[in-house]
Structure 1
Amino acid sequence: MGLGMQIAYLGFAGSARIESEAGVQLVRLGRFDDRLAGCQLALEALRQPDGRVMYDARLDLMTHEHELTPVRRCKHADPLVAIRHAFDAAELMLDA
């Protein structure tokens, strides 16, 4: 059985494109399914003083024992890049 994922959008409405990218990135963690039950991804739109929007991706990994392990937060102007960086960080953490 594959890993599960919950996605929360804060400050903006999500999109099919974002959900698709998150699903693609989740597949990368499949090789760790002996240690992981799933993950929770929160993507928040943060308005900057100059009017720009930065996206903060927060990824928590959930073990089979229902323990959450946070991955470092990743911010970027493009939400898809923020998501990719969060999953990059998760892979590095799990490989260590």
Structure 2
Amino acid sequence: MKKQIIGFLNAITRRNVSSVVSNPIPTTSGITLIKLERTRRRTFYDSKWALDIKTPTGLVSTSLTRWDDQCHLALTEDIEKCSSLEDVQKLDLRERIYYD
């Protein structure tokens, strides 16, 4: 049983767990989410997300570190509430996740 669980967790970690925004999603402030893709997920630790955001000054590519159970929909909703690129970057939890 324990080997089956470990095998299952390893399979989840290895599979492609990315999600990409199919249509640009505008926010209330004029920035638009063009791409949101989960590039890495470490079970029980964190997930890494790549973002392309269109701002009035141009296209910006950035990344965010979130919890491992972060879903695409919840992160999209959090980004929709942001009023600036700085607010989007505040969603990064890289310095707030503690690893053992």
Specify the TM-score bucket, using the shorter chain as the normaliser: 0.3 to 0.5
Structure showing greater relative contact order (alpha-carbon pairs closer than 8 Å, 6 or more residues apart): 1
TM-score by length of 1: 0.40
TM-score by length of 2: 0.39
Instruction: Pick the structure with more strand per residue.
Output: 1
Instruction: Pick the structure with more helix per residue.
Output: 1
